[in-house]
């Protein structure tokens, strides 16, 4: 079984997934979405998540319908803003009524990306400042990630760089300027919670 590190460049990964999509779509067998998910997992190794959004190291794969075309446009827009918390679009691959969205967290190159709640000790002041900057830039452009301030379920982190990233960018929403302080304050409260966890980890002799 290959992994995203032994597979090589993003181009190789995209081409591998493109070949899978063509093969599985041509087979005509039922449950195409599940078969695509299984075949991609065989190619890239164990992932974190489910068929709707799965992390393979710094790569993110989503399998769905034509709605992913709109999600791809959203990711293109985010990349122009240099938002490290969001992945960049690598490919949008059609597969007989399904679509495979292939993305990469460009700020976590060649890293394992894991849930932040499992690795709070990786959070650094630099990563915290970068994440705050990302959320502020989003707000400056009239947008916010609707789940960022609601808990850590959608927060992930690069195991080497400590870069904080978010899953499920489908919940990018327009931001009313009147709500800006509340939205950014909610994110800051989650970051403060992480800082407390880091402090407790450092104090724990075990």
pLDDT in tens, 66-108: 999 999 999 999 999 999 999 999 999 999 999 999 999 999 9
Pairing of strands 172-174, 98-104: unpaired
CA dihedral 187, 61, 140, 173 (to 10 degrees): -80
Domain borders along the chain are 4-108, 113-201
Q: Considering the domain 113-201 in this protein, what is its CATH number?
A: 1.10.510
The one-character DSSP state at 202 is H
Question: Which CATH fold topology does 4-108 show?
Answer: Phosphorylase Kinase; domain 1 (3.30.200)
Q: How much is the pLDDT for 201?
A: 52
pLDDT at residue 58 is higher than 70: yes
Q: How much is the pLDDT for 203?
A: 47
pTM: 0.89
Pairing of strands 98-104, 113-115: unpaired
pLDDT in tens, 177-203: 999 999 999 999 999 999 887 655 554
Closest by Cα among 160, 168, 145, 144 to 49: 168
Q: How much is the pLDDT for 5?
A: 45
Q: How much is the pLDDT for 32?
A: 95
**What is the Cα 107 distance to its own chain's centre?**
11
Residue predicted with more confidence, 95 or 51: 95
Q: How far apart are CA 115 and CA 110, in angstroms?
A: 16
Q: How much is the pLDDT for 9?
A: 83
pLDDT in tens, 145-167: 999 999 999 999 999 999 999 99
Pairing of strands 155-158, 113-115: antiparallel
Q: Return the sign of the alpha-carbon dihedral for residues 44, 46, 47, 52.
A: positive
């Amino acid at each position: 079984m290959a992994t995203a590190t032994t597979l090589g460049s993003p181009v190789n990964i995209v081409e591998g997934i493109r070949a899978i999509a063509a093969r599985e779509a041509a087979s005509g067998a039922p449950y195409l979405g599940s078969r695509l998910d299984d075949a991609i997992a065989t190619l890239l190794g164990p992932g974190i998540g489910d068929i709707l959004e799965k992390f393979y190291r710094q790569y993110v794969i989503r399998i769905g319908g034509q709605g992913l075309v709109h999600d791809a446009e959203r990711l293109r827009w985010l990349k122009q803003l240099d938002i490290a918390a969001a992945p960049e679009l690598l490919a949008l691959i059609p597969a007989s009524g399904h679509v495979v969205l292939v993305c990469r967290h460009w700020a976590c190159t060649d890293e394992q990306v894991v849930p932040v709640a499992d690795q709070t000790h990786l959070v650094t002041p630099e990563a915290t400042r970068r994440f705050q900057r990302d959320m502020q830039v989003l707000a400056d452009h009239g947008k916010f990630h609707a789940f960022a301030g609601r808990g850590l379920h959608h927060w992930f982190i690069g195991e080497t760089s400590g870069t904080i990233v978010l899953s499920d960018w489908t919940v990018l929403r327009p931001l009313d300027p009147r709500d800006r302080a509340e939205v950014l304050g909610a994110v800051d409260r989650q970051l403060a919670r992480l800082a407390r966890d880091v402090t407790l980890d450092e104090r724990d002799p075990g």
